[in-house]
């Protein structure tokens, strides 16, 4: 219900004077989103000034002592960020201007040299890649943690019979182990796209300036090494065009994880209804109603579904932004930042919630066994006729015509008879667990290398950070 | 880089004790989004207690004096909201619990009676409809304001020739008046879907409780009158299922407006490039570069495009949420609130920005005239042959084979010769303006009626509010 | 597995010679989609030539006798279309060129005059609006038919108790009548957006040529009358820019219907699982499995869900197409045609399927009654304490602490005690039915007027067409 | 305008009798889409029967001679498919039933044994993975071909100056080489996600039956080897849940390619407008207008943009389908097939079109050079001041205040002075070309291995197939 001010007012920014309403519109939520990038902006700037100080020009753009002073200030800003004492004013517009202003306030002309040979596009591109690299590693670890929880759950209830369903209708005998480890395997497929996003992201855009380079001997290989990137983005025009693209690829990968989680959530919501009662959800993950005293609702699982929808929309928004966008930087891309940050927060939160729920589920054997009806064994019976020599289609038709005569079989036996690879009695959970461990080890070693570079660059300890 | 706390802690809420991480996940951004709903929540509560006090039961649920006390407190809370002194804690979870707690803190048992016969679903549904009604009226007015600005611009430059394009290639003679008033007419079509959203939204869901009514003689017609709604949603189950649906319909209407704005923005970005120079954008709507000193970029227009993409994504997220959602309230729907609020903010801001830009554009006649080349007149020439009796397809082929011989005609004359309805010389801008005025008058009378009800209900002045 | 031909070949079209692979790419599925538009193209052309023959120019563009000859040919083409003997070659590219070629083959120079003063953009725009008008009326009628089926179902089982759910968990006593009529009311809300789409669509774009008019005294009011449109699109530039927009608005309205259907489908899928058994689906709407002899799966309902997703995607594609598209016609818009046609087919088919299913459902009272557990009555019990004077929050807390002591109440009584407006015992199904009838009458009168114009224009009977 | 038949009729299918309208609705476009899968269905069946014949059961499910007879028939069906003489009736419903029926017609009981131990879910899953594997290899090759065309173009015009743009406004000196090779590098990033899709897809789902295995010693490792898959999907429940997921991952990868193409297309559309004239598009890729004789429109490029939107919508539809879908097969997934096939066709066609256009573009040096204005050199000038010792921000402000005094510099020199990695004079096109070649070699070797398996399995030559 805010009123639009009719009287035009202006505000001063580092690049000139602008209309206040315009500033409000253009800055948008940047000061808030940029807080997530603040530490990474300091790190990117540290790499840039280290490179400037090493640049073989005469007179040098920056003296080694100036460089050290800047890095010291950056470390101080990082400390402030970690203490929650860093903020971005609307006049600063964004984190880049805020940091440059702080450096200039403290170091005068040295601060004014920092932006030599780079643009804000450059900065935000490198900030986002550093931020995303860290978040991708976190997401990887948390995806693996959920896969591990599902495997543990599968192992614990491996041979507990459960009605297998297609079209939600009872279909064939299955087991809790098959159900849970199936989703774990699904998450491992999602890690393939997550890894691809990691690979695309793990390249250094710094040194592209506004997308057309600068007439200075910028050493992009040096900043690549300092920041722990796999390699530089080569073409500087592409370095700038890739903004929004990397975010889109990451969000598509995150969206895949959410889709998998939404299916786990849906199954759990259904199977914990009193009409099924297969699973009791841990009460600390349920919430009540303001009017109905008896309620314990699976709110967390429903929010996983709801946030899947939201992330899908955010991803879609980022993709649409790039459609037919002219080459070179365009301001449209500012809008992709928030979607990326919200995407990571939401996926990571959902992964942790689900891992907690899986760990806390109580499995009700009686309810699971009670759900078996004769029809569930119809296919097994047809295949027994096949084993006795009948062509399958004839056996199928025979059973279909004698459904009423079908009796209930022993679910445990039914489950134990599917011995082929990946079936209820052919599951190799160790294989799955070892695949999870391999991924975890690779993530750990990447993190160690990455944090090693960062610690060396700004002298801040990155060992314990997550 | 926040670390997940490993030690499980709990927090108390009005509906019980929950795990702290779970509370964090379930509450999400609600305390922030709910600030936009706070005043409306007080109004909805005022209607509810007025109805409770009038309910023919013995003993009465609420005495008239209690009702008056509650409304007085609500008016005080509204005052605090308007002063920016209202906030929602994570323990409150949402605005509904915050207001109920404040009332109970001040009024004791009277406060504890307020929630009789309603649920939070009820409350958030009515809050969102009241909020949306007000925002839809604001959006309507701002859409009309932009249409009016386009009409003014069209009238001022009505017959200034401009190359008409298809496929972005020069096509036929056109005019600045045709271009600008075309987009104004487009916005009037968008108002049809906006009005439909208004109609769907303008119904009272209050009194549906959790979607299944209550065994109390709730008077839903009374609250409908008090709140100024067109009519009640009839079926209480549907009142609850409509949550998310109304939001989706509104966002689809907002998205249509943004799509129209994105096309205006695209045209302006192209036609203000130096290669065209048709239009000079007002400098106060442009921003500079941190590295390139010469730059004035059409950032505002690019953000209009970028936010179009974002709103499309948010709308999509809301629609996806409802796909195959089981009947009755599901927590997934919490996620739709933020999209709605962001949608209104973004569309309204974009409408105001574009109106300002249109008002400030300088039209460069020479650049417009200089762009006419012989080919632009080819169709006119073919139709001259038709006028002389040649079948059209033959005339077309003749001109196509003699393109090199074509000369340039007088653009002013070409524009003045298309006299039929809606063509360059057949535009009826008065018709358009009177249609805009009709819509504006209807919006004004709706607003007057709506604000009249609200003022009467809570004794707060709603005349000047926008 | 088609191989790309490496040797470049060319093909002749009416507008010149083009590369064969290029023709393949540009024509796409148009010849197939355009079959849906063929009859409407003939009708649009009939209106155009009637107008040309009446045009006050000397020499006349077309003689009355020529006009009559063209219309006779068009009626013959319509007859061929209805017999399925009309096809479009890739050299014709689209229906417009196909019809123009047929007319020229039969009528020589008269055929070559037909395209005077119009463009293909003009034609496809008017074709799509005529096609959509007819389909919107059909969709309206079929939506009303489903709403009527739901009302009949609700009336028949009005007071049959059914556990009302929120979060899919048992919540409060409800009824089959409340459930079914709730969705009927939902469809009436969808009709509001469908009507808005109808209003936006019901305007005549013909006479805009390529979006910039022509130097001929085109009488757009005449063609508007002949074709039965509400009014002309005024601005000719906007007439061309509205292409894709109208389709997007229609698809958003169709998508809303599908979303509602997807929720009905989801509820039916769940409530017909053996664990619930509330409803038995008519077997003719279920299908079997190729391997499991016992299966009757709710495939139709699942396809309703799946096609909801598909239509959402198609709608999204159309919306994205228009984002930041430069003004005037752009070829991108060709892609929106198929989405529109598929959208109508899918929504109409789904509406008919669901109406058939609702009519055939068997309601199992025992299963419905058997699902009531004590907790479902907890809120009713708390409100009894309120009726006895206890503040609601205190009553709520009391019940919450004594849940174990709660007994089961009589579901019939519980349902009969919610007497307020729109609750289980306060439903006014006559109100709903009369609203449906009002819409149906309005649709019938629109159809009569529309078909009257068409019959008069081309002398073909449009009474029985649907 | 087809009328719905009111009289209910039924049709017989292999799984029972169904209502004709229902059959129409459920079968949908499957008979058409399934033609794309027909050959792959034969191949999958060949692997299945080979495995059945080797199964260590007594009596054997299938004799070696029976197996040979089936494979001979399958080879004959493949031949018919390649000749275009294979079709699927609505009674067959889908390709699986059509092939099973043909085998049974020819081989009697042997045909009836073929379906032993598998379901249609199984079949369509393996068909789609085989089809996708082949199409992914084709898409890879065609993406590489376009990247190669861009590199060739970049090499040819490497140092031709071109105004570099941000916000579409002139920004800094750039080159045609930087522009073209930037997009080539972009495509290589897209290949990372395409490879991830390949990896996820390259696993064998066959042997999962309806998602719960069968009580037969199915040898899934054997069919994996026979079909040339990397490994089996392990968990049979997941094999069934992965349906729709793999399609979604593939479509997201295809969508990324389209987004890149849409940006190339947008740049070409803009830079080939007469106001720029940088590039002349090959006329055979342009098309004319039905009304404007002078027109050569960049229709192909516009369709690339339009199809980008369409593919984004189709991808979105597939993703939405899976959101919160219950575990196990659900019929919703049928709808994802068409999107996948259309996705491949569209992306591959667009890649080939763009490669043709890039190869045929004429570069107009004069137009490119004529576009340089003094402002384009402003940043270079500021950095000269930096080189002379001025802090950057001071130099920037100095130039900003003296913009009017700026003169035009030599574009060739400006371009030659950006020598750092990836800038105009620091491009390493050989690096790019060698990366393309590496990918091409890997694709070739994969294809050789894949086709080797297929040829051996069904005795049909797969060397030349693409």
Q: Which tens digits make up the pLDDT trace of D230-266?
A: 999 999 999 999 999 999 999 999 999 999 999 999 9
Considering only alpha carbons, which residue of chain C is nearest residue A169? C273
Nearest Cα to Cα of residue C350 among C313, C287, C299: C299
Q: Would residue D167 show up in a list of annotated catalytic residues for this protein?
A: yes
* B window 25-84, beta carbon within 8 A of C: 57, 59, 61
pLDDT value of position A11: 60
Q: How much is the mean pLDDT over chain A? A: 93
Q: B-contacting residues of D 142-161, CB under 8 Å?
A: none
Percent of chain A with pLDDT over 90: 84
How do residues B157-194 score in pLDDT, each as one tens digit?
999 999 999 999 999 999 999 999 999 999 999 999 99
In C, minimum Cα distance to A275 occurs at: C275
Residue C15: per-residue pLDDT: 59
Question: Hey, which residues does D18 pair with through a beta bridge?
Answer: D11
What mean pLDDT do residues B244-259 have?
A: 98
The reported pLDDT for the residue numbered D4 is: 36
Confidence tier at D139 by pLDDT (50, 70, 90): very high
The pLDDT assigned to D18 comes to 67
Cβ of C210 within 8 Å of Cβ of B171? The answer is yes
For the purposes of burial, counting CB atoms within 10 Å of the CB of A457, is it exposed (0-12), middle (13-18) or buried (19 or more)? Answer: buried
pLDDT at C12: 60
The per-residue pLDDT for B18 is 67
Q: What is the pLDDT of residue A15?
A: 59
* In the predicted structure, residue D366 carries a pLDDT above the cut 80: yes
- Whether residue D234 contacts residue A185, with contact meaning beta carbons closer than 8 Å, is answered with yes
Query: Do the chains contact at B397 and D293, CB–CB below 8 Å?
Result: yes
Distance (Å, whole) CA B132 – CA C167: 25
Model confidence over A425-457: pLDDT tens digits?
A: 999 999 999 999 999 999 999 999 999 999 999
In chain A, which among 300-339 make CB contacts under 8 A with chain B?
Answer: 300, 302-303, 305-318, 320-321, 323, 330-336, 339
B291 pLDDT higher than 60: yes
What's the average model confidence in pLDDT over B81-102? Answer: 91
Is the minimum CB–CB distance between B275 and chain D shorter than 8 Å? yes
Domains and CATH numbers, chain C: 10-113 (1.10.275.10), 120-138+202-370+430-461 (1.20.200.10), 374-407 (no CATH)
Which of B168, B297, B378 is closest, CB to CB, to D292? Answer: B378
Q: Which two tokens stand for residue B179?
A: 């271009």
Give the whole-angstrom CA distance, residue A376 versus residue A374: 5
Q: Which residues of C are catalytic?
A: 167, 289
Residues B242-254 have a mean pLDDT of 98
- A17 pLDDT band, cuts 50/70/90, is low
pLDDT of D2 reads 38
pLDDT value, residue A18 = 67
Residues 160-199 of chain C whose Cβ lies under 8 A from any Cβ of chain B = 164-168, 171-174, 178-179, 181-183, 185-186, 189, 192-193, 195-197, 199
The pLDDT of residue B35? 95
The residues of B annotated with a catalytic role in the active site are: 167, 289
pLDDT for A3 equals: 36
Lowest-confidence pick of B21-30, B44-53, C47-56, C237-246: B21-30
Under an 8 A CB cutoff, do A306 and B332 touch? Answer: yes
CB contact under 8 A, A14 and B290: yes
Min mean pLDDT across A16-20, A26-30, B62-66, C64-68 is at: A16-20
For residue C201, give how far its alpha carbon lies from the nearest alpha carbon of chain A (Å). 26
User: pLDDT value at position C338?
Assistant: 96
Residues D277-280: contacts with CB within 8 Å, 24+ apart? D277/D364, D277/D367, D278/D162, D278/D363, D278/D364, D278/D367, D278/D368, D278/D371, D279/D361, D279/D362, D279/D363, D279/D364, D280/D361, D280/D362, D280/D364
- Answer yes or no: is pLDDT of A178 > 60: yes
**Is there a contact between A15 and B289 if contact means CB atoms under 8 Å apart?**
yes
The predicted structure's pLDDT at residue D386:
87
pLDDT tens digits, one per residue of D206-229 = 999 999 999 999 999 999 999 999
At residue D426, the pLDDT reads: 97
Cross-chain Cβ contact B320/A302 below 8 Å: no
pLDDT value at B289 more than 90: no
The token pair that represents D180 in the structure block: 């073209």
Nearest to C275 among A276, A302, A397 (CB): A276
Tell whether D270 is within 8 A of chain C (Cβ). Answer: no
ipTM: 0.95
How does pLDDT run across B299-344, given as a tens digit for each residue?
A: 999 999 999 999 999 999 999 999 999 999 999 999 999 999 999 9
Flag whether pLDDT at B17 surpasses 70: no
Please tell me the distance from the alpha carbon of residue B369 to that of residue B375, in angstroms, as a whole number: 14
Q: How close is the nearest chain B Cα to the Cα of A172, in Å?
A: 25
Name residues of chain C where pLDDT drops below 70.
1-18, 464-466
Cβ within 8 Å, pair A312-D328: no
Say if residue B82's pLDDT is above 70.
Answer: yes
Sign of the C-alpha dihedral computed for residues C136, C138, C139 and C141 taken in this order: positive
What is the average per-residue pLDDT within A381-388? 90
Confirm whether pTM is higher than 0.90.
Answer: yes
With CB atoms and an 8 Å threshold, state whether C297 touches A323.
Answer: no
In which band, very low, low, confident or very high, does the pLDDT at A347 lie, cut at 50, 70 and 90?
very high
> What pLDDT does residue A245 have?
98
């Amino acid at each position: 219900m805010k009123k639009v001010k009719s009287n035009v007012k202006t505000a001063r920014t580092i690049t000139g004077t602008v209309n206040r309403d315009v500033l409000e519109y253009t800055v948008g939520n940047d000061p808030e989103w940029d807080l997530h990038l603040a530490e990474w902006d300091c790190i990117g700037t540290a790499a840039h000034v280290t490179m400037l100080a090493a640049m073989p020009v005469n007179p040098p753009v920056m003296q080694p002592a100036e460089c050290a002073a800047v890095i010291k200030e950056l470390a101080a800003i990082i400390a402030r960020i970690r203490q929650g004492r860093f903020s971005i004013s609307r006049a600063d517009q964004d984190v880049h201007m805020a940091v440059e202003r702080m450096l200039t306030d403290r170091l005068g002309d040295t601060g004014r040299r920092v932006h030599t040979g780079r643009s804000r596009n450059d900065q935000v591109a490198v900030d986002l890649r550093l931020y995303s690299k860290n978040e991708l590693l976190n997401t990887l670890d948390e995806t693996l943690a959920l896969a591990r929880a599902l495997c543990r759950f599968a192992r614990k209830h491996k041979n507990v019979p459960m009605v297998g369903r297609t079209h939600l209708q009872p279909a064939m005998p299955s087991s809790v182990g098959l159900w849970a480890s199936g989703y774990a395997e699904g998450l491992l497929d999602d890690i393939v796209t997550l890894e691809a996003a990691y690979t695309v992201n793990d390249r250094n855009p710094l040194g592209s300036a506004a997308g057309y380079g600068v007439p200075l001997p910028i050493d992009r290989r040096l900043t690549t090494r300092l920041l722990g990137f796999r390699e530089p983005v080569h073409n500087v025009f592409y370095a700038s065009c890739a903004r929004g693209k990397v975010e889109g690829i990451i969000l598509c990968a995150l969206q895949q994880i959410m889709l998998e989680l939404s299916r786990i959530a849906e199954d759990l919501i259904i199977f914990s209804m009193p009409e099924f009662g297969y699973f009791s959800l841990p009460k600390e993950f349920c919430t009540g109603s303001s009017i109905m005293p008896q309620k314990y609702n699976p709110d967390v699982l429903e929010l996983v579904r709801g946030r899947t929808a939201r992330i899908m929309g955010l991803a879609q928004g980022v993709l649409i932004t790039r459609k037919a966008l002219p080459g070179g930087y365009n301001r449209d891309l500012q809008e992709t930042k928030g979607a990326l940050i919200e995407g990571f927060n939401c996926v990571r939160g959902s992964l942790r919630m689900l891992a907690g729920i899986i760990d806390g589920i109580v499995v009700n054997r009686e309810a699971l066994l009670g759900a078996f009806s004769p029809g569930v064994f119809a296919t097994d019976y047809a295949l027994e006729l096949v084993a006795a020599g009948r062509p399958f289609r004839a056996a199928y038709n025979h059973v279909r015509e004698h459904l009423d005569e079908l009796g209930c079989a022993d679910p445990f036996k039914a489950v134990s008879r599917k011995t082929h690879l990946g079936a209820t009695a052919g599951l190799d959970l160790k294989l799955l667990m070892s695949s999870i461990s391999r991924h975890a080890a690779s993530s750990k070693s990447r993190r160690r290398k990455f944090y090693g570079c960062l610690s060396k660059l700004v002298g801040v300890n990155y060992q314990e950070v997550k």
